């Protein structure tokens, strides 16, 4: 195991952990002593029908939802709802390469799929909390992949679904982009096939990885209009070093690789022999599909094509010049738009 | 010097070379025995007013114009015009890292700027051919950068200009993208700070570089609609290996780096103390600005913003699902659209 302060209770907490025991994975591996880390906000009511689930995105943890998305008077209101923020397996907080004991950790951590995350979260919600229905599942990017997986896998349990800037079946273009993210890390000789002594040794690869996010994670207009100035940076270089590189170099390279591999293969049509239409037809949830207009790798048209296959759904396009990474809360107006859509969705009969 | 068959007469010819002697560069270096390689099609008329110049794009050579753009009955008609296809300095055919003798070659090849290319081409056209006016300068991508530089630097000489999918001043976003292209190569330990014994040694870095082109060089729809099938490939992997990787691994890594560094810094406002409006106001050429609707890194809006600053100009958007790399001639309909625009432009009084 390796120490990485970024994933500690001090940085990402408070969070709880649920013990999944020996958790067998879709791709054949098993995580022994598997821990699902989660944070809750608000209280579960007597009828246990006020629960909202928020799964995490690539590189994200449960903390960001507390910081940017949840609050009294907002859509995700902890005075009304019992909100469970789940850390996806491999994200560094739940069971992950760096915190899993030998022989199954670090470079030997097994492949995890979106379906594994959703099964793990299902066990937490049903066995630990006794929850049988979810008022809402909402998540961005890989959180949207998990949201779709939830709605397809457990259609009777999910009453409402709000996938933000993500798809039910990952595209070929997205697969290629994610591959460049992985290659940026694995091409660093310090990565050593996953057997580095500290994530800090791999900082050059992590910085290259951050640069690819700089290109695809925002929009051309984000740079044209120098939106980074308003975020407190003095130049593009300053923004790169002190925002994106600072963010990613704190993380565990193997955790990012585990998540990227999973992202590449997100696909609800695994349930229906590759038939996406059939898979999405299973969804019973009232669904708002929420792409971001300037997203470069989950473009509106890809999300809209999937939305058309979901019976009880609407397309709600979020506008932000920031592009995909606005999900981390960079633009108050994005959060305002999202809150409006989610309030409306939550007000609709289940 | 290194041998690289890709740049030979057998592969890229027939081409001529013009001797620029000791060519002093804007950034302080000098290429000694500097050679500008070019190919011509058609004949210069008595009045010497039927010349068209086509500068090359990143990784491209003069050959592609012969193969895809020039032909009897087309806009670039060699029975009407004297067409000069110029290889930009550092592209592997003109003076470049691999073909420049020590001590100024390979890892010591100096920095070249777009302005250097245009001055070199100007010397060829005026001194060698005695040409004092150009009926048209047309180029794509870095060829568009050179087209803008021509129209700003020699406004009386350029009668018509057609910059395709490129900008007069490179954007910050484009700079970042180009940096990832460079990092993909320089991060390969086999690159050895530019002192590899053969370009083949650096194939891993060149393959990573090719993958970044796969993500940004086409469009999300190109993959969604599997346009690569129509190009004769059986899968995305097959397309990657036998098209993009095959294309780039044949090239000299230092040549790509020289061009990328130049691309990053393309900026006609260097003539006017950073005032882009003032620089573009110098243009006298009748100008058609020709972005591609699905271009991910020279988006239409960036090109349109510059077009508005050019007096005698029009915005003509080319439509192609292929995105930026359609310039290599992937889509017959793109060539048809372009030909129409260029025929119209050439028919307008200078």
**pLDDT tens string A70-112:** 999 999 999 999 999 999 999 999 999 999 999 999 999 999 9
Question: Does B204 map to a domain?
Answer: no
Residue in chain B closest to A297 (alpha carbons) equals B220
Question: Cβ of A265 under 8 Å from any chain B Cβ?
Answer: no
Structural contact between residues A254 and A194, judged by C-beta atoms closer than 8 angstroms: yes
- Average pLDDT in chain B: 98
Residues A204-208 have a mean pLDDT of 98
Q: Which value does ipTM take for this structure?
A: 0.94
Cis bond before residue A169 (omega within 30° of 0): no
Residues A269-295 have a mean pLDDT of 98
Strands A16-24 and A30-41: antiparallel
Question: Does B182 map to a domain?
Answer: no
Q: For residue range B130-145, what is the model confidence (pLDDT) as tens digits? A: 999 999 999 999 999 9
Residue B169's pLDDT is 98
Question: Does A176 map to a domain?
Answer: no
Any bridge partners for residue A160, and if so which?
Answer: A286
> Which residues constitute the domain of residue A16?
5-171+266-347
Residue of B169, B179, B220 to mutate for A, most A C-beta atoms under 10 A: B220
Q: Which positions ≥6 away from A52 have C-beta within 8 Å?
A: A76, A81, A82, A83, A84, A134, A135, A136, A137, A138
Burial of A269 per CB tally in 10 Å (0-12, 13-18, 19+): middle
Q: For residue range A116-162, what is the model confidence (pLDDT) as tens digits? A: 999 999 999 999 999 999 999 999 999 999 999 999 999 999 999 99
Q: Quote the Cα angle for A97-A100-A103, to 5°.
A: 95
Q: Which positions ≥6 away from A177 have C-beta within 8 Å?
A: A212, A216, A297, B215
Q: Which tokens hold the place of A285?
A: 């949830």
Question: Does A248 map to a domain?
Answer: no
- Reported as a pLDDT band with limits 50, 70 and 90, residue B129 is very high
- Reported as a pLDDT band with limits 50, 70 and 90, residue B279 is very high
Residue A350's pLDDT is 83
> Greatest CA separation found in chain A?
55
- Average pLDDT in chain A: 98
CA distances to A200, B76, B166, B181, B291 from B138, in Å: 48, 10, 11, 25, 13
Residues A167-195 have a mean pLDDT of 98
Residues A157-174 have a mean pLDDT of 98
Q: Which tokens hold the place of A247?
A: 């963010």
Residue B81's pLDDT is 98
Catalytic residue among B252, B267, B295, B302: B295
Question: Does A342 map to a domain?
Answer: yes
Work out the minimum CA distance from A25 to partner chain B, whole angstroms. Answer: 27
Backbone phi, psi, residue B215, to 5°: -75, -45
Q: For residue range B48-107, what is the model confidence (pLDDT) as tens digits? A: 999 999 999 999 999 999 999 999 999 999 999 999 999 999 999 999 999 999 999 999
The total number of structural domains in chain B stands at 1
Cis bond before residue A103 (omega within 30° of 0): yes
Q: Which tokens hold the place of B47?
A: 């009045």
- Reported as a pLDDT band with limits 50, 70 and 90, residue B350 is confident
Strands B286-289 and B16-24: unpaired
Question: Cβ of A204 under 8 Å from any chain B Cβ?
Answer: yes
- Reported as a pLDDT band with limits 50, 70 and 90, residue B287 is very high
- Reported as a pLDDT band with limits 50, 70 and 90, residue A46 is very high
Catalytic residue at B141? yes
Strands (E), A42-112: 51-55, 82-86
Residue B13 belongs to domain with CATH number? 3.40.50.1820
Catalytic residue at A295? yes
- Is the pLDDT at B33 greater than 90? The verdict is yes
Strands B82-86 and B30-41: antiparallel
For B311, the 3-state DSSP assignment is: coil
Work out the minimum CA distance from A209 to partner chain B, whole angstroms. Answer: 9
Tell me the CB-side half-sphere exposure of residue B216, using CA atoms within 13 A. 25
Q: For residue range A247-258, what is the model confidence (pLDDT) as tens digits? A: 999 999 999 999
- Reported as a pLDDT band with limits 50, 70 and 90, residue A223 is very high
Question: Does B205 map to a domain?
Answer: no
Query: Of A172, A183, A224, which has the smallest distance from its Cβ to B302's Cβ?
Result: A224
Work out the minimum CA distance from A204 to partner chain B, whole angstroms. Answer: 9
Backbone phi, psi, residue B207, to 5°: -70, -40
- Measured CA to CA, the distance from residue B95 to residue B87 in angstroms comes to 9
Please state, for a pLDDT cut of 90, what percent of chain A lies above it.
Answer: 100
Residue B116's pLDDT is 98
Residues B289-298 have a mean pLDDT of 98
Question: Does B252 map to a domain?
Answer: no
Residue of B172, B213, B221 to mutate for A, most A C-beta atoms under 10 A: B172
Residue in chain A closest to B175 (alpha carbons) equals A215
Residues A1-12 have a mean pLDDT of 97
Catalytic residue at A341? no
- Measured CA to CA, the distance from residue B267 to residue B269 in angstroms comes to 5
Question: Cβ of B16 under 8 Å from any chain A Cβ?
Answer: no
Please state, for a pLDDT cut of 70, what percent of chain A lies above it.
Answer: 100
Question: Does A189 map to a domain?
Answer: no
- Is the pLDDT at B193 greater than 90? The verdict is yes
CA distances to A60, A270, B87 from B59, in Å: 38, 40, 10
Question: Cβ of B220 under 8 Å from any chain A Cβ?
Answer: yes
- Whose structure tokens read 């915005």? B315
Q: Cβ of A215 and B180 within 8 Å?
A: yes
């Amino acid at each position: 195991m390796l120490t990485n302060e970024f994933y500690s209770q001090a940085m990402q907490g408070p969070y709880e952990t649920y013990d999944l025991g020996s958790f067998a994975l879709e791709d054949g591996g098993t995580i022994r002593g598997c821990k699902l880390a989660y944070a809750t906000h608000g209280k579960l009511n007597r009828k246990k029908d006020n629960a909202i689930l928020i799964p995490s995105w690539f590189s994200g943890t449960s903390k960001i939802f507390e910081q940017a998305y949840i609050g009294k008077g907002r859509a995700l209101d902890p005075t009304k709802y019992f909100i469970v923020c789940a850390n996806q397996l491999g994200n560094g907080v739940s069971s992950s390469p760096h915190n899993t004991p030998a022989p199954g950790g670090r470079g030997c951590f097994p492949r995890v799929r979106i379906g594994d995350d959703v099964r793990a979260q299902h066990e937490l919600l049903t066995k630990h909390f006794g929850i049988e229905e979810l008022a809402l599942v909402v998540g961005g990017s890989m959180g949207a992949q998990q949201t779709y997986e939830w709605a397809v896998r457990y259609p009777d349990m999910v009453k409402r679904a709000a996938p933000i800037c993500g798809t039910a079946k990952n595209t070929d273009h997205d697969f290629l982009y994610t591959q460049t993210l992985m290659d940026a890390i694995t091409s660093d000789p310090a990565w050593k096939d996953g057997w580095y002594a500290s994530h800090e040794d791999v900082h050059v690869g992590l910085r290259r990885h951050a640069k690819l996010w700089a290109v695809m994670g925002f929009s051309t207009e984000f740079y044209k209009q120098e939106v980074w100035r308003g975020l407190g940076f003095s130049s593009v270089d300053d923004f790169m070093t002190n925002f994106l590189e600072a963010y990613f170099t704190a993380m565990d390279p193997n955790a990012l690789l585990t998540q990227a591999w999973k992202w590449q293969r997100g696909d609800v049509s695994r349930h229906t022999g590759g038939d996406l239409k059939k898979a999405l037809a299973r969804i019973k949830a009232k669904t708002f599909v929420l792409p971001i207009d300037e997203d470069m790798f989950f473009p509106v048209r890809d999300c809209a094509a999937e939305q058309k296959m979901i019976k009880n759904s609407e397309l709600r396009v979020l506008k932000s010049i920031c592009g995909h990474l606005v999900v981390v809360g960079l633009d108050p107006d994005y959060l305002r738009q999202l809150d409006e859509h989610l309030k409306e969705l939550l007000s609709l009969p289940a």
